[in-house]
Structure 1
């Protein structure tokens, strides 16, 4: 039996890290190459889960590796206060969710069938919906980066710049904005729900 470090999905995770480092290294000198590498890394994020299920190689290490890789790859190329706030929200909500899941004896942070929130259940329980939100978020960030003024880190300026592009770009921008917004709302709900679970665990332990 191979070491957990050498599980196929974990090797894919290492490969994603390398791809992301290369992408971020060229993000300002070659935006097109950055976009290709970045999106390829995002595609691999879906592939590793398939391999984990196919070969029964799901692991706690792999889950953490996947989550950490997702978090830094999602935000590392976007400066600015708004993106830093979103980075904090994304990391905090997922960290709380992961930790509260382990406290509850669950093997995955995506196991939310016992939560009372319908949006969280829909997000993690219906893969096409989660895929729409995640893809929307990634595509939105890519087009914002590609069409943003290199001298500005303002999110508002980047959005205004997109409105001067072709109708197709504007349509993609508006469409992905919906999925992006839902994902941010889900992050807030996830953070609050997971934090509540941690508090309940503390209360039970103190009795």
Structure 2
């Protein structure tokens, strides 16, 4: 899966009341194939990537071509300035393709000034307090979002998913990026807060 800076903007999104990394594409070793190299490459490709940015969420944000919609939503919602606040937080960041799956006109409506509160609520629903590595996320685990909602982790083999309160499931890119104030994972669908979420 491409995770070329996939978290970089998700990163900025990791800080609401403290919420909302940037994963650089990892170069593959192209040395001549040998039995040893083949084994090593196969092993490394099966393990989730982990990138440490050394920067806070604000600095590592705004660089991912895969998260431009999220970046725009962050700016409109006024949450970008909060991306440098202390965490830690774990963010499940929808890609541009994830936002494209929403019904036509949904994002246009959410970007209007009158819908700012709804947009903030939607973005914050993707943020969980604490740092969770892929190894720490377990099948059936319940995660509380900063809005008070609940996300459920699904883990079957190498496949990691997150299900929102309405039963919608997003596939999680198992690679993560670590900023100084949190982790970010890229997801292929937008998670929707239920009516009871704050």
Same-fold call, TM > 0.5? no
Normalised to the residue count of structure 2, the TM-score between the two structures is 0.30
Which entry has the higher C-alpha Rg, 1 or 2? Answer: 1
Task: Tell me: higher relative CO, structure 1 or 2? Use CA pairs within 8 A at least 6 residues apart.
Answer: 2
